[in-house]
Amino acid sequence: MTGAPARLLTWLAVMATLLTACTPVVDLTETDAGQPIPSASAVPTTGDLAAVPSTSATQTPVPPLPAPPLPAPSLPAPPLPAPPAVPQAFALNLYQDGDFVPQYTFDWCVAASIQMAHNLIDDTGGGTWASSAQQSELWEMARARSSDSFNGANPRGWAQVLTEVGMGPYAVVSIATYEDTLQAAARAIAETGRPVGLVMWSGRHAWVMSGFESVGDPAQFPEFQVTGIRVLDPLYPHGSGQWGPSPEPNSLLSPEQLATQFVVREPRRWSTDLPTGYLLVLPVAA
């Protein structure tokens, strides 16, 4: 029994020797593929980790670039201002056939002018004022409302009768300059649709202005130029040796032609507080 364990131990020792002899020698400088084995010095030590830049999630992220601003919405271009209005030729005439009435005496010019004013305003044609009897009555009414040294009808009586018989209101005005007078008369016709009385021959005669032509509409332009005046002279066809012939009814006179008979009226010839100027019996807006 003693010899068997001894032999077993001897056998194990021989086998251990054989196994040791069969272990190959490894070349630490090369691998089986002939590639160098990484040097141990390439592996960072614990002390070297702090020097290696970290790529972990703890790194502060770079903020994204801001988005470019959106373009402002395009607005429509503001409208261009309208060009200033340019005065154009303008004309207005109240006259119709049958409106003219002659004066039946050399004194009744104011009464005949009142009859013509009525006809110009009443454009129906059904109520023409033209009789001699009516003209005489209107003359007496105007005289009764006038006061002057000639015991006739003056511009105040003329305006008052026009107002009382339903064609007013009318007022007597005196304007210093000729151009302003023509503008005032034209503007009054355009605004009221009623004729203007012209005090002619320095206060000795009466005409009716029934219309006008101008450069510029009085309703659109504060300043406009009167180029023509439509007139009715109740003395037609007689006229005056001193002042000139009477124009035909509805004649269109130039300002220069009218100025030969339409002149300044001086207040010394009748009782009035109006200053010296061109006298109009002017329709006034109600």
What is the dotted CATH code of the domain comprising 89-283? 3.90.70
Query: Where do the structural domains in the chain lie, given as residue ranges?
Result: 89-283
The upper half-sphere exposure of residue 18, i.e. CA atoms within 13 Å in the direction of its Cβ, equals 6
C-alpha dihedral (234, 238, 244, 245), degrees to nearest 10: 80
Rounded distance between C-alpha atoms, residue 45 and residue 42, angstroms = 9
Q: Which of 234, 227, 222 is nearest to 191 (CA)?
A: 222
Return per-residue pLDDT of the chain as tens, 286 residues: 444 455 545 544 444 444 444 344 434 344 444 444 444 444 444 444 444 444 444 556 667 777 777 777 778 888 888 888 899 999 999 999 999 999 999 999 999 999 999 999 997 766 899 999 999 999 999 999 997 656 789 999 999 999 999 998 999 999 999 999 999 999 999 999 999 999 999 999 999 999 999 999 999 999 999 999 999 999 999 999 999 999 999 999 999 999 999 999 877 666 678 899 999 999 999 8
Which pTM does this prediction carry? 0.72
Note the pLDDT of residue 148. 65
C-alpha dihedral (128, 134, 135, 140), degrees to nearest 10: -140
